[in-house]
Amino acid sequence: MYGGTALWATAACSKGAHRAISTGSQPVIKVASVAATRPAQTGSLRFYFVLDATSTRAASVQYATTDGTAKAGVDYTPVNGTANIPAGQTQAYLDVPVTGDSLRRPDQTFYLQLSSPVNCTLDSSQATATIVNSNLPYLPTDTTGYSTPASYAGYHLAWSDEFSGNVLDRQNWTFDIGNNNGWGNQELEYYTSSTNNAFVSSGNLVIEARKESINGSGYSSARLKTEGIQQFTYGRIDIRARLPVGHGMWPALWMLGSDITTLSWPGCGETDIMELIGSNPNRVTGSMHWQNSDGSEGTYNNNYYLPTGDFSQRFHVYSLLWQHDTVQFFVDDSLYVNGGINNVTSGAYPFNLPFFFIFNVAVGGSWPGPPDNTTVFPQRMFVDYVRVFQR
Q: What whole-number distance in Å separates Cα of residue 354 and Cα of residue 229?
A: 12
Dihedral angle over CA of 344, 345, 347, 349, nearest 10? 30
* 208 has catalytic annotation: no
Q: What whole-number distance in Å separates Cα of residue 101 and Cα of residue 91?
A: 31
Contact (Cβ atoms closer than 8 angstroms) between residue 249 and residue 371: yes
Active-site choice (187, 208, 227, 270)? 270
* 275 has catalytic annotation: yes
Active-site choice (162, 227, 275, 297)? 275
Determine the length of the chain. 391
For strands 28-31 and 121-122, give the pairing: parallel
Query: Known catalytic residues?
Result: 270, 275
